[in-house]
Structure 1
Amino acid sequence: MSEKIGLYAGSFDPITNGHLNIVRRASKLFDKLYVAPMTNTSKNYMFTYQEKKNFIEAEITDLTNVEVIDSQGKLSTQLAQQLNAGFLVRSMRNPDDFGYESGVASINKVLDKNIETVFLLANDKYATISSSMMKEVAKFGGDISEFVPPAVAQALIKKLRKE
């Protein structure tokens, strides 16, 4: 039987506890799970690829089948092909995400008909969390400690104070 390999790609700017919950749950579905901080040309990033990679790696040290990889300048389907990943992991928090994510899945299916998209619904506890919302709350002095790892909260506050 062939190894089940999944790829969870996202901008992760910054990684939230919701993203990490998806990583933990997806790690149980696959023999190998790759997590890939990606580039979305329509977004302005606060954190560098290396910072995002470091944040994720610090939080998944106990997950032996998960690896954070460099994915800069590639489409998710291209990266999946390179990794022999047959599955793209995507998460949805609400009905609005469904519309967007189903469109992404459709495009990915056209790009590679052999790759399946697996949708994981956000845990209720994390259903309202988004990276952009965390930046906004932190910018105006709100407490984000319940929504992101401590190192992310500290880095976010530090970067926002420089602006």
Structure 2
Amino acid sequence: MTRTGVYPGTFDPITLGHMDIIRRGAHLVDRLVIGVTTNPSKSPMFSLEERMEMVRREVEQLGRNISVVSFDSLLMDFAEREGASMIIRGLRAVADFEYEYQMAGMNQQLNDRIETVFLMADVSLQPIASRLVKEIALYGGEIHKFVSPAVADEVRARVERIGRKGS
């Protein structure tokens, strides 16, 4: 039987922290599905299609057991459709844990056959958040420590198109 895990997120943009969790999560399952979603409470810099392509490009060298799928539904419905037995979530700090703990409890109420597994981000990557990467870029800061060179180029190009702040 194939053990499938789902790693959901908006990935706007995908960071080195996300890549750390993807690399490590892929070792826990036979098949890892990266679920790229929309979040009504966030204003994405990149469209869903752009984020999907970005994630696909970034993970293509990691192995054949990783697929990238978009979804716009309850996470547990998506996980069920993918045949997942676990949700993989990355934690950076205590604040993440409080939110993720609440979400895991709600998800368990929706489907108790799917476990949530938390992976701590590598210590060097813990401060990285997509929201902060975008903010740094929008104010002209350097983001190469937080994302791959290709993603940094895409973010810089998008900032040039929409305009920097504070200039």
Task: Pick the TM interval, shorter chain.
Answer: over 0.9
The alpha carbon displacement at 1:147 in A equals 0.7
CA distance in 2, matches of 1:157, 1:104: 33
3-state secondary structure, aligned to 2:70: coil
Partner residue in 1 for 2:82: 83
CA distance in 1, matches of 2:112, 2:29: 20
CA distance in 2, matches of 1:25, 1:13: 20
Partner residue in 2 for 1:115: 114
Q: How many residues align?
A: 161
Q: Does 1:24 align with 2:18?
A: no
The alpha carbon displacement at 1:44 in A equals 0.7
Partner residue in 2 for 1:64: 64
1:129 partner letter: I
2:110 partner letter: L
2:33 partner letter: Y
Give the share of equivalent positions with the same residue, in percent.
37
CA distance in 2, matches of 1:105, 1:38: 17
Give TM-score scaled by structure 1 length: 0.95
Partner residue in 2 for 1:162: 161
Partner residue in 2 for 1:131: 130
CA distance in 1, matches of 2:136, 2:40: 23
Q: Which 4+ runs in 1 deviate beyond 3 A?
A: none
3-state secondary structure, aligned to 2:60: coil
Give TM-score scaled by structure 2 length: 0.93
3-state secondary structure, aligned to 1:90: strand
The alpha carbon displacement at 1:43 in A equals 0.6
CA distance in 2, matches of 1:98, 1:61: 29
CA distance in 2, matches of 1:21, 1:154: 20
3-state secondary structure, aligned to 2:40: coil
3-state secondary structure, aligned to 1:61: helix
Q: Deviations over 1:36-57 (max 9, x none)?
A: 1111111111111111111111
**Larger CA deviation: 130-139 vs 149-158:** 149-158
Gaps of 5+ in 1: none
The alpha carbon displacement at 1:60 in A equals 1.5
CA distance in 2, matches of 1:52, 1:153: 13
Partner residue in 1 for 2:54: 55
The alpha carbon displacement at 1:162 in A equals 2.2
**Larger CA deviation: 47-56 vs 130-139:** 47-56
1:66 partner letter: I
CA distance in 2, matches of 1:140, 1:83: 39
CA distance in 2, matches of 1:43, 1:59: 22
